[in-house]
Structure 1
């Protein structure tokens, strides 16, 4: 459900683990965690693995709960992600239960001395540094002592002589020197970088003339793919190669990072630029580009990427996404090495890729296969195409099957479009994209950070950007300095992102940094005063909510009553739109028990089922995709069936939200929502118009009076609100269309096409009522010039995506965005949460860093309800 999934995700980010997950926790926990000490352990089994340790090095620890030889197994990786060995059994037996139960927040390990030269050791000592929340420290200390291990604490003399003095965030001279050394390394990133001149795509494939910024972007993309330079933080030393961050030395030359993050602002034509990349830099082509150094001198370079036959197809293209399979080739047209690009995108964005192919490429010049819905799974068939399009959901569904061709193929390139959807590293779709095999990898998103900087870790894991694709290294080198408010944290992140990403902003006609000369976009906030009856009802509900949540917070039971928390926030937001959207009695929403138990309370189960129907586009908090079968747990949390069942296969099965023990008998199947593409069952006719609906109606009438043909998009997160507005606006003489998450991909495409058309003999629709999520990514709505956001979303990036469906290349009119906010309500406080998130996202690519990244958890609930 769209209005709830962000809070679900934020609380889920406190949880980490599962099969083969690196032993560390999301960023929010680090700012409250303390290094309580270290234990000394041996890395064993070195003879059986190819990974080496050649100096004083950081190493990664990965829990293996499904290891067939030892359920407590903890494997050790070097900074090249190659296994070195395992932590010895006696130590793993003590640490594994603490890690599985989340009593320990995180562990980090370092090998303080290199192995003896001239011989291969059977074991190698390391120090394992242990982090925990303050309340858990006594439990951890007792467990380690009972397990026969010695915990060296900061009070011990040996602690000051060990590597822990560097790991610990203290003010010691050694720690300061170590931090300065790492900061100096990051400061060098990009100092020797070179700019890229514009590059033209082949005219026999790309029909459209690119804008200058797109040609520059194409040059950058091609250069990233063809460069043979050493990866960042590596240098040649004594005939070998040294990683200056981790001190890892190897004789093998590290592979260059062929890819990166394409993070141009939304609406700058990233899809066309990527199609140009596919057409330009393919096997058998010779690509010339010019490098421009910092002082303006240039040198031409030519790259030839193999020698391979490219077969053209003369199949007719179709525009319907459900039928489209541009240029299917017979399986006899095989290729000997990869030429195929895989594009993974949300379902709603498939129509955009198909439309862009139709608009910008010469028919038959690229062979395209749509791997979606009914699909053929022959590897040879897919490899005979230049481009395969699929969705995150399709990929996640095939993730568990070893027979999926998506997993078998080693692709020439994989492009993740709208890649911010993989920000949850625990989700099925994230794990699926990380496992894809590819020579070149691209992350494409205008909003790389949506909630916090930890969103970036999943992107690093997909890019295979070592050592940052290993969680231990990401946490130590980037995340922990950020979370602890270190001035160097954001600087490190900026340096890192500058080295692997391209980010340009649109600007406007009047702006000095205009790239494409778009008309201006203005964003206004229209504050709405509730009618007296609405205000009375709102104040009553908020007072009851505040009292209940204060009890939960004081008793530290907010996660045990999280469905109630979501209900309260949902209803307070709905009442700001229209009291008809929610029940007037908040007490009917509240749990009578201190712990919500669906198995003991059928009314609670019914309540959750109704909540699912009230919202729009609900996503499972684990896979972040709409669930095919929605499961409500005994503890009143909501997941899709496949995700929660996989969670229960872990060593200590429990709810990812509240950590309550779970078994399959504690799962309940939610009733399927009764929704339809065309015939909503909810009837709002005859109801009085609310203050917010009246404000929106007046704005639309004013716009119509100024110019009758002006088209507007009205975004809301509540499907019922869209249905209500449909009735009100139709009665006021507006021709409306509705686009929401209940609709099939085909139906959505039809709605967008109808809204964009101007048929002379048919009533022209001037208002599109759209779900923020269904039309918030990959949709082109430049036919409109007015955007209305009926309510705020606590993720500002989602709102920006919605606005930029209208303000993008192809827009010829000034765009006006109006946000409707009820004064002195939960909506005003959500704006404060948005501003907090914008600071981090803005500081990521800008020169000025945000002073501190705030936690976005219970503090946000306090803010929203003035607690």
Structure 2
């Protein structure tokens, strides 16, 4: 085969380029498009027809002309045209809507046709397509894509003519356009005039328009009509686009801005910096020198959020300057090289929670505020985060438990004069954390030597613990026990507590007379069917309530805790149902709103005292239950709901008509900024009664909030109330006594306040009440899961109960602890709400606020520790006594001679040798097998020497083993008597039927 001869280089170049050499003459060859119809883009200024009733029967725009005054907006429209055989540009039948189908029909230039087909989708890329859209014209004013300029360049390359609809109108595409304000200063004023410059040549701004935000067009009508288009150097701001227009056109022309000579300095100082950020400002004649732009400022926005969280954001403010911004960032990074949330304005905001949020707020923010060029902007209320830096002192106790060979460990940390329960410290140490943030926003380091040693001992002790809650060590680990004791600095507790505000409480106590009310015009018979004997002060309260109801007046029943407020209200409701205000009108129920833990007690009290009342309750939202509120309120006299449900389903409650509204524990609505307060204010009812033992806890604005609900109009706005009552006292304008006397006179007819001190002669020596507490849904799910597991395990052991009594006892104890708090069994449930503790503190807060003192008993020291943690969080001082207390007499004397309002006592430690008549309230956190033990605990305060009434509250978790214990205690009196000291004996005497009853 002969060798292949490569082509010569000349032929190769021609093959690549398709061109012959410049000096070579080739015969003319007709191209495929030369014989096809040329296309052009027709430009026309179109005046939009004003909207009218018949606008849809005619054109929506007409061609603008110099002779027309015009009232409509002027827009720049374009449409395709073709070159006729006579050399004129004509519309023919081609439109934007059919251009894609006209290629062969009209014999159009292929490349030009493709260009027009691209034009339509690019024009509509940022605009919706709607019916009735003008199919003949597209308006460049609405061409949002800057690709327009690429299209126009391509049109020039493809030979697409840009023509005007006016005869001889010139259409040109220029290089660049600018829109600015030109400043001219004279002796009389500083004048700022809008100017439009295209390729350095000025154009009237009132004969111009914006092309999206990327360009402009200017036009001239008349004999020498012309249109010129040009892209802008930078995207046009809204303010720049607003400068373009005409008096009869798109927008009113922007008038010149004239600043009088005497106000020029103010303009330059206060207004020029903001104006120049929106619009370029220049002075063509250099008649004024503008001040240099201020340096950029790095704004650090710090937003404080709930649950100890902080949101951090960085943004530049002012004119951007790369060099100046680099200087600010350099100073920032030099001063704070370890910044936990780096200053990056380009990055999204960062949210810190917990300890990082506390340290950032406490340590970093003060340093940031000292850096030049950085401005810290705070949003929300800044928490008082502070680090506890003193050397910690430990209080370590050990006490023998019910299990003979085991000992409980109790540890409290004292630092900076504060006592911190060990539970959160233990959790943090167990997780290897270096620092700990407390609920009161203080935090401390856990890397100190005393914690290092304690961490080692904890790890050793944890390896020895059983399933029961808390740390335990075995009797045989005497050396470990000694190590813990060696760490102890003190043996007494010291808890910080803020001073109680007693002035308002004294005011309330001194307001009532012997019966608590003024003489009423007439006595009101008690309602038929009332199953109670009202004491004189209760009868007086009932008649006062009836008087308010009959006259359509709201009020506040503010009797001291335990004086039977609920009974008085039930008597009122029974009377109102039996004697309706309008016997002809359809009967409507009363709505009672109470804390969740109190709803069940309302039902029980109503069944006990007013069995004739039809009382129902709401236990879930409409969405959850699937039942409309109207159905639940049908055929009842009283409907009881919780504050949470009242808030969540407020629209439904508002829509239903009510005979009246009762707000029990009305301190829940004292915060005038809360949603539940707004719900109570806005609901439309003819009668509203607030029931609370603590109408004022912190300040008089809380009293204002209550009266704004029950008696709107009694006081002016919160601002006026502050001016008339709070601030005069603060400024010493009037004496405190004068202000209180004035306020008391205003509220006396509508607030009834009696204390136990006033009505003690009518009270029995002791009143007892069972508070039935519903578990939180999450808690309930955990309890039911364990119940099923323990039930399956134990029911198989019933045939030989004696041999398995320890296993049985352990399971029963587990369920009893689960009834109290899920975290007592496993720390992983620490976040599960504790309904019983919530209910306790709903009562206890009122008791403390009223100046009473309370004993709180539990069999489980770990549960007392949870109660102690909440007291610490509230800043309430308390004494603590359990079997581990080494200085028992000192602790008891501390409570007797001190003013701590709460005494936490374990059953083992508190069942003997105590005389605590200083307290008049007793809370039993868990039911006990032995009623004698309960009586002994109660008798610590209810005994000879007690001059006040004793109120006893038993807290029982509903539908749990605790209710079974209560029933078993009543039905097995002999069995209970056999159990005096050791619950293991009780477990030994349980029968199989007893066990089954407990697990049902």
TM-score by length of 2: 0.29
TM-score by length of 1: 0.33
* Larger RCO (alpha carbons 8 Å, 6+ apart): 1
* Greater Cα radius of gyration, structure 1 or 2: 2
